[in-house]
């Protein structure tokens, strides 16, 4: 089953959310309206909260997790993903904050305490090191990730276009008969 409780807490889903049967969503997870979680994605909210906004897609093979409360991270760390976000294939998000209208490219790793403002694009394969702050309208690439330039107006418009396109795709999947 793709949705499981942890310590008696089940994930909570908004309206028209698509979770692929091959994805796994566990525990303290909240997913906003019109969002999608694609095949083999793992969203594991066991030791802290994961909140995913509206119209956000978590694509194939991505792993989303959190940090527990302990001596090296008092209070633990949640994972927050904004609305209108495209999380590419095979992305790892760990105890970070992703703003609204962002794109996280395929194979990217975003680590603890990273904060990404709204309208940020992270290039494929980037590694965003712990505690880094990514400013709005920036393109970040590399390992470690660094800002290489300002996004163009066309690229900023693409961020919400990408999210809207995945809403249309998940709607097609929701209309298909199951089984």
pLDDT tens digit string along 58-115? 999 999 999 999 999 999 999 999 999 999 999 999 999 999 999 999 999 999 999 9
Is CATH 3.30.1330.180 correct for 3-175? no
How many whole angstroms separate alpha carbon 156 and alpha carbon 79? Answer: 24
How many whole angstroms separate alpha carbon 102 and alpha carbon 87? Answer: 8
pLDDT at 53 over 90: yes
Would you list the domain boundaries of the chain?
A: 3-175
How many whole angstroms separate alpha carbon 17 and alpha carbon 81? Answer: 15
């Amino acid at each position: 089953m793709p949705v499981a409780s942890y310590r008696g807490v089940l994930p909570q889903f908004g309206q028209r959310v698509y979770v692929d049967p091959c994805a796994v969503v566990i525990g303290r997870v909240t997913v906003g309206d019109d969002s999608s979680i694609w095949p083999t994605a793992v969203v594991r909210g066991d030791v802290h909260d994961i909140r995913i906004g509206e119209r956000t897609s978590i694509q194939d093979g991505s792993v989303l997790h959190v940090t527990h409360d302990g001596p090296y991270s008092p209070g633990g760390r949640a994972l927050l993903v904004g609305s209108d976000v495209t999380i590419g294939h095979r992305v790892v998000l760990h105890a970070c904050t992703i703003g609204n209208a962002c794109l996280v490219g395929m194979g990217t790793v975003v680590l603890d305490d990273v904060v990404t403002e709204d309208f940020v694009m992270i290039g494929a394969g980037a590694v965003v090191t712990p505690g880094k702050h990514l400013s709005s309208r920036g393109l970040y690439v590399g390992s470690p990730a660094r800002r290489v330039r300002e996004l163009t107006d066309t690229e900023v418009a693409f961020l919400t276009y990408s999210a809207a396109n995945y809403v249309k795709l998940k709607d097609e999947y929701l209309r298909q008969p199951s089984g």
